[in-house]
Structure 1
């Protein structure tokens, strides 16, 4: 028996750790037969399982796996979002997920004004309520009238209603004389002088002939233009009883002057700005596009290119309010001072009454090289702006395809 004391636990552990492993010092890889014959590895090392990865290596692998999952899920989510945005109406129709056309009862709020003119039908009233934010969809009131067998006699005037009303509640409110605002007239953006005078006459119970006579001489209101087209500012007006046609028109012209002064338009430049703004007002389907349409107009003017705006052709031909966005071949070819398919430059006068936003857009066009634009979806107002013939023609084909799928949309 040896006199050497037994090894300590620490020494035993060190001895175990010093045994050959399946990884060689030089390469860190499991040994092979050559290592066995040269003595660099034992038979135990050759057959041993690989060493467990370190904690740092396991953590890195986990993060890599997590990143891969995130990327895959993100790709699926992006693809799903694209499909939904592109085919939402078709998906809703297929799955029976159609959005309700009417608001729920009890959620009406705020205040809205709606103008009813003489001769308005249920369809006209239905669209006016939708445009004012009263109802959820443009046809819901008309559908309600048809389904309920009603044919009410809507009285001309301006009515005070609420936002987010049901179709039934909106109709009831229009038939209640208490909601009719006395001596009040509302002019929307984009109306011509002719239409504006008719609305004034209907709402204020004023002679249309007297109004036309009062509007015949623009110089009586300090306007040097050949007509008051574009000068009757779109707004809601309330007049005292006994107000004359001359006073009504002066109030509206003065309101236009104030809008131009607030926008810092020089007196000598008023007619030009109103003319550009009126085209923007009639051409742009969404307010977000006002400044882009303004840029298209300016870009074409800068290079001497005809504006070729359908609204000007329709105005000059007298077909602006025929219910379609397309111009007839006769309107496009008619040689008049407003048809920008024939003339170069701006039309002879404004073609409608622009609001504050259109005036601002005329003064501050967006930055861009666009020369064309096409509204490819008349329901949403989606408009494609392009700078060359090929892209423009592609957008036109997109519009034609939409019109084919929506034959009653007013193309």
Structure 2
């Protein structure tokens, strides 16, 4: 966080006529929320980095974007645009991940230092609507959206294991081709069946349509983002939002759009594995929870643990062909979908183990004897990612370059058309046609 702020301040000092840095809010721990603005055009673009604490690539991407925009007047004067770059939406959470940010970049080091707050403390979500937003980070972003009324908003995310993809609140024809080009040039696998978008309409390979807000219970909201969010809040201003996901460890199998050889057997394996992992982690949690009362900030660390274990049984049932929901059956699945589901199930388990490992280590003693077991679980599950899934580290420079290229492509395409909301002042949710789900 300190490096991000220092580099942005140095850039603004170097180019004071084109770039300005201002404080637009304060985090719960008192960290400033910094906005770097480049250009003086009437049309506002807003790019939000760091909405998820464990996804740091966006901070480097906004600095790269600032340099690109300063170097190319076509992106400011030529587009009558101002770029507004929020350096990090959750600086407190990012600081908790600094244990792995300096490397070496191994899966074990990442998960043993992983932090992401519980669902209700993630600043992009509005589970009770914008008026009831409680987090200061969320309120600062909502105020910024209403101040700027951006024609284009981008939320920068990172996939820990998998591939790159984009989620849109409105179709941007041609973006899928641009994503494919950037991914091919940089050796980034595209995720053709992300777990996040399993039930969402496809707008082309690796590009998906975010459904309009639909309040549901907490478990559904955690797994499907089925609540109002800051992605949709500025829709009333005619904003199109792009959520750009860039992977840290790439897996080639998520790009395999071929029909699976044995869909049901693969799904049963994923579901059975998730149930087994969940039972193991629940037993560990039961043993260690009584010994964590005096650990500083234990409640905040346990919140995501409880969230993950809450959703596991429902996910295992939803993915199980013998126990699925007949009202909401699984869509047609490619080999890429099955690879993504395998990765997602393991992700929940190893994140939970990593958080519990940190809590027990912070306690300074291990009366329940959990650390050796948690170490063994993390090592085994990371080895499955590396050896079983073929997960390979993608250098930071390539992650950043890929994400920056996709943002610039989406910015250009968003500037070519004005949505109905911009003309009528009313939300335009779902009026434009979309490609049938997963058509490639």
TM-score bucket (shorter structure): under 0.3
Pair member with larger Rg: 1
TM-score scaled by length of structure 1:
0.23
Bigger fraction of residues in strand: 2
* Higher RCO (CA-CA < 8 Å; seq separation 6+): 2
TM-score scaled by length of structure 2:
0.22
